[in-house]
Structure 1
Amino acid sequence: MGNDLRLGGQLCFALYAASRAMTNLYRPVLEPLGLTYPQYLVLLVLWEHGDTTVKDLGAELMLDSGTLSPLLKRMESAGLVRRVRRPEDERSVLVRLTDQGAALRRPATAVPDAIAAAVGLAEDEFGDLRDRLGALTMAIHQPRTAERRSS
């Protein structure tokens, strides 16, 4: 495993290729909703949690503010969200769904089934893969968190 320098032998490439393929799979499913994949992810968080600070949204999506801010600006221009300063802390910005953003929730309920059908995995395989990738993500982030605490 350690000496395999073939592209096909790299876990990083397999994950990269799968990520690109999955994102491309979402494109035609989200297009009728007028959404990009990153916009869909933002909406998923807001539908689940309601009003969310930009900081918490970034943490949930694992995005830095340099990536998240332009995305939210485009979503605000499209009428999907509003950004408002929190009255109790002017430094904190709250992201709020508009009526238009909230209305997309109902048609978006078809997205997971469309993706599952396109992927062709059984429900238990789909869940197992999701859980394994989540565990991998946590394992990758864990050492960084421990390093930061000891610094």
Structure 2
Amino acid sequence: MTSCHTNNSSSLSNQEQELIKLENQVCFPLYSAANAVIRAYRPLLDELDLTYSQYLVMMVLWQNNGINVKELGAKLNLDSGTLTPLLKRLETKGIVLRKRGEHDERVRELFLTEQGEALKLQAVSVPKAMRCKISLDVEELVELKRLCEKLIKTID
């Protein structure tokens, strides 16, 4: 039997009981940290009239104006079912345009409007403010980012 085999007996050993304690999990502090970071972003993004997910989309567009929806989804690890309503809301706000691809009409490409481009100037303050809210030194932040990226690659 492998260590991944489930135990069907009605009693758990002490070691197995330790495995299911909340304080012994990696997932819980990771989940809690992600939620705390998103909560810390909220007041800053409220000033830009963006949700956290919309902010992520905008950061990709500020770097890759004209990206197609499929590429955007790959960069953000989001499927089209999640992205489509998000992009519609950004389009309604007047900061993003969705156009059919010039070479393939089935492809939807995303472009910043003037308003979306102007929002970039305001958004520069967000990472600076977040840096002040997170009391980790630069080396710790770099290591945290590296470990998160390694975890994502391992799970995907």
So what's the TM-score if we normalise by structure 1? 0.89
Q: Aligned with 1:89: secondary structure?
A: coil
Displacement of 1:125 in angstroms is 0.9
Aligned to 1:127: 142
Aligned to 1:38: 53
Q: Distance in 2 between matches of 1:29 and 1:130?
A: 21
Displacement of 1:136 in angstroms is 1.0
Q: Could you tell me which amino acid in structure 2 is paired with residue 132 of structure 1?
A: L
Aligned to 2:132: 117
Aligned to 1:69: 84
Q: Could you tell me which amino acid in structure 2 is paired with residue 22 of structure 1?
A: V
How much identity, in percent, do the aligned residues show?
A: 45
Structure 1 residue 55 and structure 2 residue 77: aligned?
Answer: no
Higher helix share: 1
Displacement of 1:20 in angstroms is 0.9
Displacement of 1:138 in angstroms is 1.0
Q: Could you tell me which amino acid in structure 1 is paired with residue 51 of structure 2?
A: T
So what's the TM-score if we normalise by structure 2? 0.86
Q: Aligned with 1:72: secondary structure?
A: helix
Structure 1 residue 20 and structure 2 residue 30: aligned?
Answer: no
1:78-97 to 2 correspondence within 5 Å?
A: 78-97=93-112
Q: Could you tell me which amino acid in structure 1 is paired with residue 37 of structure 2?
A: M
Gaps of 5+ in 1: 142-151
Q: Deviations over 1:82-129 (max 9, x none)?
A: 100012101100011111111011111111111111011111111111
Q: Distance in 2 between matches of 1:91 and 1:51?
A: 15
Q: Aligned with 2:107: secondary structure?
A: strand
Q: Could you tell me which amino acid in structure 2 is paired with residue 78 of structure 1?
A: K
Q: Distance in 1 between matches of 2:23 and 2:45?
A: 30
Displacement of 1:22 in angstroms is 0.9
Q: How many residues align?
A: 141
* Structure with greater Cα Rg: 2
Q: Please, what is the CA RMSD of the aligned residues?
A: 1.3
Displacement of 1:135 in angstroms is 1.1
Q: Aligned with 2:136: secondary structure?
A: coil
Q: Distance in 1 between matches of 2:92 and 2:101?
A: 20
